[in-house]
C-alpha cells in the first residue's frame, strides 16, 4: 500500500478538549481543497449511551465508514482509556504494535489524520500513548489541541516539552480551540505563547490547515 504523503497525529492537552471536533473540521477543510484524506482512530472508548462515536464523526468528515475509521474490535463501550476499557470488558489486551499493524488508509492518500485518545500521555495501549503512536507512525505533524482560557500556557508548555523530549521529529502545531478574539485572556495567552515560548498557535481551522500542509 502506498504511503500517505502526510501523516498527521491529532492529540490534546487533555480529555474533552475538542480533538474530534477539530479533527473533523480539519478533514473537511482538507477535502474541500481537493485532497484525498483518510481519518483513523486506532482505538476508541466511549459511554455506551453516547451517539455518535468519534469514528462516526470522523467517517462523516472524510466519507469513510465508521468501521474503517476504527475497527469494531477496537471500539470499547466504557468511558475510560482504551486498554483499561478492554480489561474491564474482558477483551484481549491492547498493544501498540497491534494497533499500528492494523492501520490502513485510502490508496493515494494526501493526508491521513490519526486521532488519539485523551491527552498526550493518556494510554491508548498498555505500552503506548499519543507520543508513542506518533513515533510509531513516523508522523510528519503532531497537532496538539489546547483550550484558550485559564491554564492554557501551562498545558501548552508541558505539551511542547513532552513532544520535544519524546518525539522531536514531527512538526508540532498547537491549536487553541474555541479561541475568542474579544476575550482578553485568550488574546493574552496567544501573545505570550508567541512572544515568550516561540510557538505559533493557530486559532482558526483555515490557519490550522495551512500549518499542517506547510
| Catalytic entry in 41, 74, 175, 186 | 41
Q: How far is 153 from 72, CA to CA, in rounded Å?
A: 37
Active site residue 41: yes
Cα separation, 160 vs 166, whole angstroms: 10
CA distance 32 to 170: 25
| Residue 97 CB-density burial (10 A; 0-12 exposed, 13-18 middle, 19+ buried) | exposed
Reference 86, options 75, 70, 96, 97; nearest CA is 75
Report the alpha-carbon distance of residue 192 to residue 170 in Å, rounded: 23
What positions carry a catalytic annotation?
41
Amino acid at each position: 500500500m502506498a504511503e500517505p504523503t502526510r501523516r498527521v497525529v491529532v492529540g490534546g492537552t487533555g480529555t474533552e478538549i475538542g480533538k474530534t471536533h477539530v479533527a473533523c473540521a480539519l478533514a473537511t477543510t482538507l477535502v474541500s481543497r481537493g485532497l484525498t484524506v483518510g481519518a483513523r482512530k486506532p482505538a476508541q472508548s466511549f459511554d455506551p449511551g453516547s451517539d455518535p462515536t468519534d469514528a462516526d464523526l470522523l467517517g462523516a468528515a472524510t466519507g469513510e465508514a465508521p468501521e474503517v475509521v476504527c475497527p469494531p474490535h477496537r471500539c470499547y463501550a466504557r468511558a475510560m482509556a482504551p486498554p483499561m476499557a478492554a480489561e474491564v470488558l474482558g477483551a484481549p489486551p491492547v498493544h501498540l504494535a497491534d494497533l499500528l499493524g492494523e492501520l490502513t488508509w485510502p490508496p493515494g492518500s494526501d493526508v491521513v489524520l490519526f486521532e488519539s485518545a485523551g491527552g498526550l500521555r493518556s494510554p491508548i495501549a498498555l505500552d503506548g500513548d499519543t507520543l508513542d503512536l506518533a513515533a510509531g507512525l513516523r508522523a510528519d505533524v503532531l497537532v496538539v489541541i489546547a483550550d484558550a482560557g485559564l491554564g492554557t500556557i501551562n498545558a501548552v508548555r508541558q505539551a511542547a516539552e513532552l513532544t520535544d523530549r519524546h518525539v522531536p521529529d514531527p512538526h508540532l502545531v498547537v491549536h487553541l480551540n474555541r479561541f475568542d478574539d474579544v476575550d482578553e485572556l485568550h488574546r493574552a495567552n496567544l501573545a505570550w505563547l508567541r512572544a515568550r515560548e516561540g510557538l505559533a498557535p493557530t486559532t482558526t481551522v483555515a490557519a490550522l490547515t495551512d500549518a499542517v500542509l506547510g
